[in-house]
Structure 1
């Protein structure tokens, strides 16, 4: 496209994503966002065409996303399959679901609150009578008032209420016009007194005030809706483009929105492109030309895809949120969060998230997949780079929802994983690789950490790269770590031939240290042997025979999924998870362009949390990046790091079924809060009066209980927001307790959320 390379991925740098081999074919979006709730289709939709076979692997550090074929053109959003596609404007009487979604107001309600259609709750009033009770009381009071007036007016209670008329007015007034007026006035006065008295008892003024509040709220919403549909404020008319003078672009996009050929991803992508134009006004001409030519498909993702093949959660790309569930109407939840939808977005994921729950609690289906789905949608809009890591077959998402799928240990995988993270610095590569190999046992190494392991690896990686222009493969590195005389001699000869004397001294130092007792080289050889297996023979290639994926490509809006070979290779899977986590923290922080939010979603982070990993996670917040980690239990983290892990992340999630000792850690990090308690005391009434004693005796015989009097004591005490016992035993299945913190420092208290809605 003609946007001066803003959204084109050109292979001009070693860590860039090359342009696809063929130009992407724009596709009409397959449907509205999940929030639009289109009517059920009359017949099953056509299955999408399977993606094309990947091209022949090429030795590049970062891979281009495959270009899928053009899918069949579906009808506009909100219509059933098989309907005729119309390019004209929609009928004004029927508003498309996309326009409804676009015009829905979004009100900020604090971090973690779903803003789509959110209405802040009124200020809490502890003395407020529930509306249902207020209506019933008012109705009963009205019936009593009507009954009393009926009895008075029909003389069932006598004429005593007319006594003031008889005493204070002469008989000569009776039958006259003045007397009739006085009598009528007196009757209305009595009616007013009855209405006033029963109105006070039935809270009629309060009921009238509440009825006025729904009416005012209704008229206010109608006024806001009317204002949002005005040309100068209607988001579907792109007023900010018109204010900048781009009337032609705004007219073209407004027509596309009315015609039903634009979806929420297109809107978010074009808004992102406009942000880049505002940052660099010189791109305005290219942006205008592209949008006028291509319409809603302009500024497309390098893959050419404009939506995901399937959505399983509700998304709002204007706010960048994915809805997780609804906070329950529970007394343990703060008043302002009760019955409020909760969501996650990059603003809170930038502080990283830790979720703990037993197997089957719903971590993958109700957290990982919705979050990955949201990040993939935002990647298509040019806002996010996402890397999802999990066991093969975990259900993180379908293959065609990603640009790159690395299936380690499976021969059908079209992509490889760069073992060294795409770096050319031997020291950096050694540090990351040492973290993956021995990071989980750093405290058991001589010297107390993994620095000696990194030094030992650097003493081999540096010379090997100087001699061969690349890093060693897994079998070659294993031979060198094992101290193979043949491999070491060949490397020394290659260094002498290349004149690399400094690197030769590094190799000599490694040979001397290998002969010392307790050298770390033997341990590194044993750990790297876990990757030197027949199942991984075609992976971690450094000779350029495959297409390795490097996390150096995080500067591009990529959607990446890495499948770990957990079955049969559990220890190797954990090692690779530590490798990806170490590479991600290193590459995300080292990006030159941090405009994209980078997120790593690690499903099952067992035995991957190390001291170095914690330091890396803490640095992500300032680099516009974050990580989502799930654990079955905190026991999968070294005891010395459990509290540090909970302190390093800003978002914490405890699922139903956590153990009491895991709950104790969460209770500690969530702290205490001031709550109001009511202590009710029953005290038996003892009387010396004979008649009272008789009455108390009769009551005890009839009710079986002694006469008592209650005393209520109200006080404020400081208690844990959620105790360990409550987290372990009081969280219902399908629920979780969630607390979030935004990158701006705003925090929300822990809230019980129903994840099933």
Structure 2
């Protein structure tokens, strides 16, 4: 059944692509009320979609059910990304100069987690750095010595020996007239150059220039209007779209390059059209349609189904070429590797694909400095047709504005436009029962004898299968509660409907449920108590299976959707935790079962308290191979059962400990980050004993002046194994607004834990 739904969704996307606007596979969903759309197989439509675009004469518009409404011709161009700091925009610069400067900025290969935009690699080891006082003192002494020696030579205080080469290696005819004057001054200049070179090397003048002179000149140059760098060659200039030209689409490349120069293109447009071009090259039949669309609409071609080309507000630096978002700067701290000090720290799908766990107390910056920038980046990538994101948080958490999402599910709010599918959009009763059981009692597995995940899934399947066969849908919350309570009227009505429909084989499921209901330790009463948390007046009208037109399900992860689910944490804390656990279970199941994994799917769960279970930990491990990931935040690891704390840290590839964690949490992070070999220097002072009278007198004088005895130092160098970050350092040595972050890419490349300034 799932395969059929995916196939029909792909057909809709292909219909949209061949109608003149090619896009990434399955990038154009149909409306939720379409009669031919399987429930949960396509994403819901915005409440007030823009009017349809008028098609050219002679070209029929695609059917309404095959493609969603498209935006009107070319929305207004959004603001371009900020220009690089090294090349500020001038008043006389063309409109597209900031975007072109951003696009042409080099992005060298860097270690995982390093901000690649304009990155300047540093040596792996810290070079020997002369102290500033010693360096400046040596340079000044060398300069004075050079000037003194030159003065002595110039004034012949050292005799005429230094002029001996001039008189002995030149012809006699050169020593008269203007020739001798020119030759003499040339010899003087050569001598001065030799002296400057010798004393410059002796006084380390090049190091003085690199440390203080060059930065000062660069700063003065930037303040005075640095001219823009020359454009690279057309074959190497990304603003000229060389890949399109290499494939023969010169007209489309010219149109896009002209829009970029005119300031009509931004970074989202560039990433979105690059994505559409990749989809078109994968299917040669779409190349002509892609070229035609670009020629007609330029930078506004191949739009997102919402019609949006940017977010209204950006709170963090983004680089959609490298698909990175900058979350801070590596601190210039001795505990950080030298190659990382002062570099920007960034996250991208290649890292989030291994999932990220952030632990820190309230106020440490989890939401403001991590969740919001990452969510913002994923929303931008969704607009570019490269990602699908689901954000889950408490009502009022302020993860992002409403206009940054295509779907906002406000559970418990009567003004909510969308509802949440309690069964994850599946038609399989066994799969629906397994996911629902995880959401209802996953946190109680092992804590209560009757709370067993397999028994809970079996009990639910014994009811969901017959009910769906009899009514063509799964039961709503009140109906499921009655069935779990074993109400005679509900079970009798279901039995009668099965008999009338000729489903005698499913009657055995009801018989088995009734037999188990009378045994001690039956899980159905516990399930009924948990489902009763959703059978409240505040949730009336939600989780309604009879009217699926407004229901959102996570089966739509094959589309570039931006979804936010608001949980009613105030007054319904237990229900909120249960729903968060349910969404996490549905996400891990749906992301792994996608037929099309070209989009990166990510779940952002702000506050995963009670959402982490043994099954969800196993689900997180499956996301890496499914081109998906999750970002989870916790106040403390104590919110996770003790038996799962180690497996949770081991199942994610990216780990962040924010300032204020306890030593107990720090010990877990220190254990997972392991140890490293470091070189230690032990310095021992021993008092020097003088035997002759002169030395004793000098020692006494030195003790009188300095107040300390004369000592000699002995240095012992050893290589020992130490923790990268100890529990005490994580608990007490991480400044406010900082965090220790380690990342691992999907390909297996890892970076050591780095102290990050989240305000940098």
Alignment check: 8 A CA contact 2:649 2:672 kept: yes
- CA–CA distance in 1 between the matches of 2:642 and 2:395? 28
* Deviation (angstroms), 1:224: 12
User: Matched residues in 2 for 1:400 and 1:69: separation?
Assistant: 18
TM-score, normalised relative to structure 1: 0.85
Instruction: Tell me how far 1:687 sits from its aligned partner.
Output: 2.4
Q: How does 1:654-669 map to 2 (within 5 A)?
A: 654-669=657-672
Match of 1:100 in 2: 101
Q: In terms of mean alpha carbon deviation, does 631-640 or 278-287 score higher?
A: 278-287
The within-5 A match list for 1:319-398 is: 319-398=322-401
Structure 2 counterpart of 1:293, from 289, 296, 313: 296
Per the TM alignment, residue 162 of structure 1 is displaced from its structure 2 partner at its CA by 4.3
State how far apart, in whole Å, the 2-side matches of 1:191 and 1:250 are: 57
RMSD over aligned Cα atoms: 3.8
Q: Give the distance between the partners of 1:352 and 1:737, measured in 2 at CA.
A: 16
- 1:255 matched residue in structure 2: 258
What is residue 38 of structure 1 aligned with on the other side?
A: none
Deviation at 1:537, TM superposition (A): 1.0
**Alpha-carbon distance change, 613 to 185 in structure 1, aligned in 2, over 3 angstroms:** closer
Partner of 2:694: 691
5 Å matches for 1:177-326?
A: 198-199=199-200, 201-204=202-205, 226=230, 228-326=231-329
> Does the 8 Å CA contact 2:475/2:545 hold for their aligned counterparts?
yes
Give the drift of 1:718.
1.5
**2:20 aligns to what?**
2
TM-score by length of 2: 0.84
Per-residue deviation, residues 266-309 of structure 1 (Å, max 9, x unmatched): 11110000001111111111111111112111111111111111
Once the two structures are superposed, what CA deviation does each residue of 1:504-561 show, in whole Å capped at 9, x if it has no partner? 1111111110101111111111111111111011110011165110000000000000
Aligned pairs, how many?
A: 699
Are the aligned partners of 2:444 and 2:451 in contact in 1 as well (CA < 8 Å)?
Answer: no
Correspondence for 1:417: 420
Cα distance in 2 for residues equivalent to 1:407 and 1:117: 41
Q: Distance in 2 between matches of 1:223 and 1:165?
A: 47
Give the conservation status (yes or no) of the 8 Å contact 1:65–1:403.
no
CA contact (8 A) 2:52 2:72 kept: no
- 2 CA distance for matches of 1:236 and 1:404? 34
Deviation at 1:239, TM superposition (A): 1.3
Distance 2:504 2:738 in 1: 63
1:696–1:447: structure 2 CA closer, same or farther, 3 Å change rule? same
Match of 1:580 in 2: 583
Secondary structure of residue in 2 paired with 1:488: helix
How far, CA to CA, are the matches of 2:494 and 2:320 in structure 1? Answer: 54
Matched, 1:127 2:128: yes
Give the Cα separation in 1 of the matches to 2:162 and 2:246. Answer: 75
8 Å CA contact 1:20–1:64 kept in 2: the answer is no
Which residue pairs with 2:462 in the alignment?
459
Judging changes above 3 Å, is the alpha-carbon distance between structure 1 residues 16 and 197 closer, same or farther for their aligned structure 2 residues? Answer: closer
Residues 1:23 and 1:209: Cα distance change in structure 2 (over 3 Å): closer
Assess if the C-alpha contact under 8 Å between 1:684 and 1:709 holds in 2. yes
Contact 1:383 1:557 in 2 (8 A): yes
> How big is each residue's C-alpha offset from its partner over 1:377-428, in whole Å with a ceiling of 9 and x where there is no partner?
1001111000000001111001111000000001010000000001111111
2:655 equivalent to 1:652:
yes
The residue aligned with 1:471 is: 474
Q: In structure 1, what is the equivalent of residue 758 of structure 2?
A: 755
Secondary structure at the residue paired with 2:393?
A: strand
CA contact (8 A) 2:28 2:559 kept: no
Aligned to 2:14: none
Tell me the distance in 2 between the aligned counterparts of 1:572 and 1:126: 57
The verdict on how the C-alpha distance between 1:596 and 1:701 changes in structure 2, with shifts beyond 3 A counting, is: same
Query: Which of 256-265 and 266-275 deviates more?
Result: 256-265
1:334-386 Cα shifts (integer Å, max 9, x gaps): 01101000100101000000000000011111111111110001001111000
- 8 Å CA contact 2:451–2:523 kept in 1: the answer is no
- Cα 1:297/1:322, change in 2 over 3 Å: same
Shift of 1:63: 14
Task: Say which is worse superposed, 117-126 or 662-671, in terms of deviation.
Answer: 117-126
Contact kept, 8 Å, 1:19 with 1:64, in 2: the verdict is: no
SS at match of 2:749: coil
Question: Given that residues 17 and 63 in structure 1 are in contact (C-alpha distance below 8 angstroms), is that contact kept between their aligned partners in structure 2?
Answer: no
545-554 or 387-396: bigger deviation: 545-554
Deviation at 1:202, TM superposition (A): 1.2
Q: Please, which runs of 5 or more residues in structure 2 have no aligned partner?
A: 1-18, 54-64, 83-90, 164-173, 220-225
| Alignment check: 8 A CA contact 1:357 1:657 kept | yes
Seen in structure 2, the aligned counterparts of structure 1 residues 190 and 377 have a Cα distance that, compared at 3 Å, is closer
Partner SS for 1:444: coil
CA contact (8 A) 1:141 1:198 kept: yes
Shift of 1:444: 2.7
Residue among 39, 42, 50 paired with 1:16: 42
Structure 1 residues 295-327: Cα deviation after superposition (integer angstroms, max 9, x where no partner):
111111111111111111111111111110111
Structure 1 stretches lacking a partner, 5+ long: 28-61, 80-89, 167-176
Farther off after superposition, 523-532 or 228-237: 228-237
Q: How far apart, CA to CA, are the structure 2 residues paired with 1:338 and 1:648?
A: 28
